[in-house]
Structure 1
Amino acid sequence: MKNLLNVNRVIIFLVLSSLLLSSCGFRLRGAIVVPDIMEQVYVDGDFSANDLGKVLFRRLTQVGVNRVAQKELARSILRITNNSFIRRVLTVDSATKASAYKLDIVIGFEVEDKEGKIVLKNQQVRQTREYNVDQLNALASGDQENRLKLEMIQFIVNQILTRMSIVLKKY
Structure 2
Amino acid sequence: MRLTQFSPIKFSLVFFLATLLSACGFHLRGDYDVPEALDTMSFTSYDQYSDFTRIITRQLRMNDINIVPPAENIPNLHLLSESLSDRTLSLYQSTRAAEIELTFSASYRVTIPDIGDRTFTTSVTRSYLDNPLSALAKSVEQDKLEDEMRHLAASQIIRQMARLKANIEAGTMNLDKDGNKITTKELHEQQQEQKKQQELGSDLSNSDSVD
Fold match by TM threshold 0.5: yes
| Residue 116 (structure 1) shift | 7.8
8 A Cα contact 2:80 2:108, kept in partner: yes
- Structure 1 residues 74, 9: closer, same or farther in 2, change over 3 A? farther
8 A Cα contact 1:41 1:74, kept in partner: no
- Structure 1 residues 137, 22: closer, same or farther in 2, change over 3 A? closer
Separation (CA, whole Å) in 1 of partners of 2:75 and 2:165: 10
Residue type of the alignment partner of 2:137: A
In terms of fraction of residues, the more strand-rich structure is 1
Number of equivalent positions: 163
Residue type of the alignment partner of 1:128: T
| Residue 140 (structure 1) shift | 0.8
| Residue 165 (structure 1) shift | 0.6
Q: What do residues 84-136 of structure 1 show as CA deviations (whole Å, max 9, x unaligned)?
A: 11234555556665433221211111211245821xx2111112222111122
Aligned to 2:145: 148
Aligned to 1:83: 82
- Structure 1 residues 9, 162: closer, same or farther in 2, change over 3 A? same
8 A Cα contact 1:35 1:169, kept in partner: no
Separation (CA, whole Å) in 2 of partners of 1:23 and 1:129: 32
Aligned to 1:72: 71
Q: What do residues 27-83 of structure 1 show as CA deviations (whole Å, max 9, x unaligned)?
A: 236431021122112112254432211221111111111112x11287310011221
1:165 is aligned to 2:162: yes
Separation (CA, whole Å) in 2 of partners of 1:21 and 1:75: 37
| Residue 161 (structure 1) shift | 0.8
| Residue range with higher mean Cα deviation, 108-117 or 6-15 | 6-15
Identity of paired residues, percent? Answer: 20
8 A Cα contact 1:77 1:112, kept in partner: yes
Aligned to 1:128: 125
Aligned to 2:40: 40
What are the ranges of 5 or more consecutive residues in structure 2 without an aligned counterpart?
169-211
Aligned to 1:3: none
RMSD over aligned CA atoms reads 3.1
TM-score (norm 2): 0.64
